[in-house]
Amino acid sequence: MKTTKNLMMLLLSFVMISSTGFVTDTVQDQPQYVVVTTMHWNMDYENFDMDTWKAIEKEYMDKVTKKNNHIVSARYYLHQFTADNTEILYVRTFNSWEDIDKAGKKSVELAKAAWPDESARNAFFDKQNAYYANEHSDEIYATLNGAKVLAAAPTKDMLLYVRKSYFTFPKDGSEEEFNKLRLEYTNNVINKNPFIKGYYPNYHAWGASKTEFVEAFILEKMDDIDDMFEQNDKLFKAHWKTEENQKDFNKKIGNYFTGIHGDYLYSMIHGISE
């Protein structure tokens, strides 16, 4: 696990960001990049214990991640409803592309300081790595403005709903129009929806698909999903009052997307976070 985190950060510094064209409306008072590492449980580990895993990762979080000034935040998310029940998301945010590289190097230094004895350090990481399969994947997203930030640090596990949509890059589109439409919906629907406790829009910076537009919604519990969608519909109709206006907006914003999207649900583990 430690090797996966640190090598990934060191290697990513050599990769150039591929632009999505018109989706560049970021702000400076929030993290600029989100690194998502998708890992998998070691299903052959006979001594698996969830409480022990949490204690191990909390120890690493307290001794290394929280002391790393290049990492803005870090959090774990576990599978709820996705295609793979072994999934674990390790999500970190950074203020700059350079900080991704710096964070990896700093974590190595902090780990050596936390476990000065090499044998003790290796024993800890062997114990940590035992919980994970060897394969993992990494994606980097750039953040967009319009985030609805959680009002306070969670005191309990919450629900992460992720929606992945895909851009079409229309020739008649523009950054100005897209962001105007996006923020109009965000301000009048998402920000007014009491069931949405947090909302974080992101677009592809490095990874498998440059067309990805990823929206992360934080909810309190599973029961809030249906309520969220119902409230979204009410707020949408309250802002775009006529059917003609509703169709016009959907047509304009729909011009930027393929119409295909995926939905994913994860548990947000509150006790292991920075």
pLDDT above 90: residue 128:
yes
The pLDDT tens digits for 167-197 are: 999 999 999 999 999 999 999 999 999 999 9
pLDDT at 12: 38
Place of tokens 């700059």: 96
Distance of alpha carbon 183 from alpha carbon 226, whole angstroms: 23
Instruction: Provide the pLDDT confidence category of residue 17 given band limits of 50, 70 and 90.
Output: very low
pLDDT above 60: residue 156:
yes
Q: Please choose, from the candidates 168, 180, 164, 181, the residue with its C-alpha nearest in 3D space to the C-alpha of residue 256.
A: 168
Instruction: Provide the pLDDT confidence category of residue 29 given band limits of 50, 70 and 90.
Output: confident
Place of tokens 């319009």: 146
> Which residue did the predictor score with more confidence, 262 or 27?
262
For residue 165, what are the domain limits? 1-274
pLDDT at 28: 55
Min mean pLDDT across 109-118, 141-150, 203-212 is at: 203-212
Instruction: Provide the pLDDT confidence category of residue 27 given band limits of 50, 70 and 90.
Output: low
| Other CB atoms within 10 Å distance of the CB of residue 260 | 9
| pTM attached to this predicted model | 0.88
Q: How confident is the prediction for the chain on average, in pLDDT?
A: 91
Residue 162, classed as helix, strand or coil, is: strand
**Rounded (5°) CA angle 159-163-164:** 145
pLDDT at 208: 82
Answer for the pair 140, 207: CB distance below 8 angstroms, yes or no.
yes
The pLDDT tens digits for 40-62 are: 999 999 999 999 999 999 999 99
Distance of alpha carbon 66 from alpha carbon 68, whole angstroms: 6
pLDDT at 16: 31
Min mean pLDDT across 2-11, 161-170, 226-235, 263-272 is at: 2-11
Q: Please choose, from the candidates 165, 249, 142, 251, the residue with its C-alpha nearest in 3D space to the C-alpha of residue 213.
A: 165
pLDDT at 153: 86
Q: Please choose, from the candidates 32, 35, 42, the residue with its C-alpha nearest in 3D space to the C-alpha of residue 7.
A: 35
Average pLDDT rounded to a whole number, residues 112-124: 98
CA torsion, points 166, 169, 175, 181, in degrees to nearest 10? -50
What CATH number has the domain bearing residue 169?
A: 3.30.70.100
pLDDT at 105: 97
Average pLDDT rounded to a whole number, residues 246-251: 98
Structural domains of the chain, count: 1
Q: Any idea what DSSP says for residue 66?
A: G
Instruction: Provide the pLDDT confidence category of residue 202 given band limits of 50, 70 and 90.
Output: very high
